Amino acid sequence: MRRLSEIDRDAIRVAQDANFQRWLEQITATGGCANPVHLSGSTTTLAPDTGEIFRHYDTRDEPGERLLVRCRNRRATVCPACSRLHAGGTFHLVRAGLLGGKGVPAAVRERPRLFVTLTAPSFGAVHRVGERCRPRRDGGACEHGRPLGCDVLHAPDAAVVGQPLCPDCYDYTAHVLWHAHASKLWDRFVIDVRRRLAGSVGLVQSRFAHHARLSFARVAEYQKRAAVHVHAVVRLDGPNGPDDEPPAWGTADLLINSVRTSAERVLVRTPHSPAVGELGVRWGVQIDVRPLRTDGGGLDDDAVAAYVAKYVTKGASETGAGLDHSLSTFAEIDTAPVNDHVRTLMRTCWRLGGLPEYAPLRLRAWAHTLGYRGHILTKSRVYSTTYAVLRAERADHMGHGALPDAVTERHWRYVGSGHTPGAALIAAGIADDLAESRRIGLEARQEGEWCG
C-alpha cells in the first residue's frame, strides 16, 4: 500500500466502503460528473387534499447522508460528462428551430432560414494560416522596427497563428472595448434587420411585429486572434412565431439583403473617455450569409446544429482565449497559462476597468474572457424549446417527473462539492464507459437505419 500513489490508495478506500454500491449508483446517475454538488435534505410528494404521502426521499439513508447531483458545467475542460449532456441539449434546441420537434411545428423547415457568420473587425495584422502568411514584395518595417510581412507557411496548429506581427501596433484597447460591446452590437443588429425588413415592404417599424417575427439562435466563438465572432441561425416567422407562416413578402432573398445591409451599417459607440476618446464598434468586413434549404442545396441542418452544440462546450483553454475562471488580482494575469497576446488583452481589461467611465462594463470582472460579457449561446424567445423544458423531459423519461395534482415539499441545503482524488478517478472511468456505450449505441442505430 505504501508504494501506491495517493490517488490509488484513496480509490481503494472508496471501493472498500460498506456503502460503495449505493455511492456508485449515485455517480452513475450523475453520468460520472467530475465536480458534483453535494446536497442534504428531503423531498416529500403528497396529495393536496388528504395529505397522503405518495413519495418520500431523505438523504439520511445515503452514503455520507448526502445526494450527489450534476454540476451542469458546459465546459468540457471542467466536466466532460456534463458538457456532453449540455451539447446534446443544445443540439436538440437548435435543431428544433430548424426542422421542428420539441413543440415546434415541422413547417419551420419551409421558412426563410439563414446561417449567418459575423466577425470582429481588424485590430492589427496577425499571423495566419495560408499559402504564405502575409507576403510583401517591398518588405518594410513598422514604426517599431518589426517586419510588416511574413513569408512563412504556418501550420494550422502553429503557436504563432493569431498573434500580432507587432504587439505595439496592435490596438488592444479597441479589441477589449469591442468585446465589451459585442452583445449590444448584436442587439442593435437584430433591431436594424427588423427595421430594414419593414422598410423594404413599406411598413413602419412599429407595425413589423403585426406581420412577422425574426427568430434566431446565436453562438459566440473565439477566433485564433482571440476575437469573438458570431454564428447565428436566423428564421423569419409569422407574427405568432413558429406556429405562423411568414407574410408573402417574407422571402429568403429579402432576409439575406436585410441581414447583409444591417451587418455592414450597424454601429455602437463606446462611452467617451479622456484617455481613449469615443470608439465606433462595428462588425468586421467578413460577413457570411448562407440560406438553409430543404432541397439539399445548402448547408445541412443537422450539421449546423451539431456545429453549434460542439462549440458551446469548449472551454477557454481549448480556444486559447482567456480562462475558465475569473481573476481576483492583477498579479494573477502574470501566472495565467495563456500566450502573450491573450495576457496583454487581460492586462488591458484590468487597466481600462480602473477608469470610472468604463465602470459599468465591469471589465476587471470579465478580464478572464478578454472583456466579452455575453453568453456563449443566446436565442430569441420563441425560436424553439428551452433547456428547462429539455431537462423536464429528461426527468420524465427517467421517472423523476412531478406527479400531477400533487404537492411537493422540498428542504435542501448545500453541503459541498467535488470528489476526493480516488473518487474522481472512479467517476472519470464511469463517465468514459457511459460515453463509449452511447457511441456504440449510436453507431448501432445508424447501421440499422442504413441496413433498413
Question: Which backbone phi and psi does 129 adopt, to 5 degrees?
Answer: -85, 140
Is residue 130 classed as helix, strand or coil in its secondary structure? coil
Q: How far apart are CA 237 and CA 108, in angstroms?
A: 8
For the chain, 452 residues long, give each residue's pLDDT as a single digit of tens. Answer: 567 888 899 999 999 999 999 999 999 999 999 999 999 999 998 888 887 888 899 999 999 999 999 999 888 888 999 998 888 889 999 999 999 999 899 999 999 999 999 999 999 999 999 788 988 888 889 999 999 999 999 998 898 999 999 999 999 999 999 999 999 999 999 999 999 999 999 999 899 999 999 999 999 989 889 999 999 999 999 999 999 999 999 999 999 999 999 999 999 999 999 999 999 999 999 999 999 876 666 678 888 888 888 878 776 556 667 888 899 999 999 999 999 999 999 999 999 999 999 999 999 999 999 999 988 889 999 999 988 888 888 777 666 666 667 888 899 999 999 999 999 999 999 999 998 988 888 777 666 654 54
Q: Report CA-CA distances (Å) from 345 to 117, 164, 192, 255, 339.
A: 24, 12, 30, 36, 10
pTM: 0.85
- Count Cβ atoms within 10 A of the Cβ of residue 64 and give its class: 0-12 exposed, 13-18 middle, 19 or more buried: middle
CB 121, CB 181: distance < 8 Å: no
Q: Which residues pair with 115 in a beta bridge?
A: 233, 290
